Structure formats: C-alpha cells, structure tokens
Amino acid sequence: MRTRVLGPEEIERFMDSGYATVRQAFTARQAAAACECVWRRMEQKAGIRRSDPSTWPERYDIAEHLRNAEVLECFTDRLADAIGQLVGEHNWRGERRWGFWPVNFSFGRSRPYDFPATSWHIDGNWFRHTVDSPKQGLLVIGLFTDVEPRGGGTILSLGSHKRTARVLAAHPEGMDHRDLFREVLSVPIGDFYEVTGSAGDVVLAHPFLFHTKGMKHRGAPRIISNTEAGLRRPMTLAGAPGDEYTILEQSIRRALREEPAVPSDARSCRF
C-alpha cells in the first residue's frame, strides 16, 4: 500500500492553521546544487556575487522560473505526492517547476526584530480572485537554505485563510487582488508564525493564507522559491449530496461554516 506523505496531524494543520510541512522533500545536497544556479543567475542579472558581500542588497527577487536540471530535480515525487494529497492528484495541473526566488540577505537588519506590518498579501496578482479559483491551488514555499529563527523566514498569519475565504464568498463576482487585500486587512490579523527549517523542507500553504517577508537578523543569505500548484478546474465547494471533496475544498467549506475566531496578538497590517 502506498504511504501518504502527510499524516493526519499535518492535514489538520493545513485545514486549521493554513499550512503543512514536508520535511526533506528534497535533500540538502540537491538544495545546495540548486543554490549554485540561483547565485549564478543573480550575478548575471544584477551583479550580485556570492564571494563579495559588498554586492549584496537587502533583498533580491529573481522573478522567473529556473529551468536548470539541478533545480527541477528538487521537485521530487514525494513533494508531488504531498501536493496531490491536498488538492487531489487528478486536479493538480502537475507543473513541476520552481520560481520565483525571493532572496533575503539582510532585510530589516537596521531595525529591531519584529513581524512587519506591511506587504501582507496572498499570491496571484495576475488573475481575478474567487473563492473557487483554480489558479493558485497552493502556495509552495521551498527552503533552499537552512532558515533559523530571525533568519529571514516568511511570516504567515495562521488562520487568515479562513477570513479570506469568507471575504471571497461574499464577492461571487470576483475581486482584484488589491481590493481583496484591503478588505481582508480591514480588520487586524495575528497568530504570526515564522517559517524556519532546513534546506530541502517545503511548506505547502493554503492559497488564501496571508504572508509577508520577514526581517533577517541572522545567518547566511536565505534562498527560497515560491511557486503555485495550479488546478485543472475550479474547486467544488457545494456539490451534490455524497460528493467527495479534496482537503483544500474541505478547508474552505469548513472556514465558511465556522464562527470567525479572534487571532492572538492581532495588529493592523496592510499590503
């Protein structure tokens, strides 16, 4: 019998908090080989040299997919299985690619460490957002370097996917991403969580989960890749009796049924 990558605890974390982690979805050796390609590309595009910290900006985004074999190899069968578990293996479009690449060298190092109140968003500025949209599927965050606490990890607002689901359900005509951000963030968000882990870990985040870049006070440059796991068709959220729902669909159905919870340490945030 085939073993599933995500156990019940991770599935429940995805439904309730909005993310599940696949530890060592690829190896540290594979991650290091992919990082060589990232450094080469940063040098070609922006003159950023690994050997010369004076060329390092606070942050740099390679806004493209990298097609090198070393990079593609990091999209392993194990990762594909975990994605299939959440969105349904036949629903996922199956595109195994990495990009884009937010590299955090020292963002916010001159200020005291805190969770930023700005740049909060969900991904997808290229489509109109609806509660059943197939475009994003998941936010896939691949860690290509180790990320220690305060080491520049992405900050998630746990549970915010539920509020996004409610806002989108109230707008069946769909929303432009900026209108969506404004409406979701018109109330304080909280339950902030910093993504840390080892090179090769992958966080599978809910497509509706608000996140932002974290400050970086420690460690070597942090390299991640953000990609999506687009779906073949819109999600089914209100099917016929007896229909089966994917975990992603179940999470949205649950969010729409539940009473909204007040997040802890909530604060006003914006895009």
Question: Does position 226 bind ligand AKG by CB under 6 A?
Answer: yes
Q: Give the residue among 251, 248, 249 at the shortest CA–CA distance from 236.
A: 249
CB of 150 to ligand AKG, least distance (A): 13
The correct pick among 129, 162, 166, 211 for binding ligand AKG (CB under 6 A) is: 211
Query: Using CB under 6 A, which of 106, 154, 157, 225 touches ligand AKG?
Result: 154
Tell me which stretch binds ligand AKG (CB under 6 A): 80-88, 143-151, 169-177, 207-215: 207-215
DSSP characters for 160-197? HHHHHHHHHHT-TT-B-HHHHHHHHTTS-B--EEE--B
Burial class (CB in 10 A: 0-12, 13-18, 19+), 77: exposed
How many residues form the binding site for ligand AKG (CB under 6 A)? 9
Between CA 32 and CA 103 the distance in angstroms is: 14
Closer CB to ligand AKG, 109 or 232, in the complex: 109
Is-cis flag, bond preceding 26, omega within 30? Answer: no
Query: Three-class SS of residue 30?
Result: helix
Q: Is 164 in the site for ligand AKG (CB under 6 A)?
A: no
Q: Rounded CA gap, 99 and 61, in Å? A: 10
Site for ligand AKG in 86-115 (CB under 6 A): 102, 104
Count the neighbouring beta carbons within 10 Å of the beta carbon of residue 240.
6
Q: Which range of residues in 70-78, 156-164, 209-217, 230-238 is near ligand AKG by CB under 6 A? A: 209-217
**What's the min distance (Å) between Cβ of 61 and ligand AKG?**
6
Q: Which chain residues interact with ligand AKG by CB under 6 A?
A: 102, 104, 123, 154, 211, 213-214, 224, 226
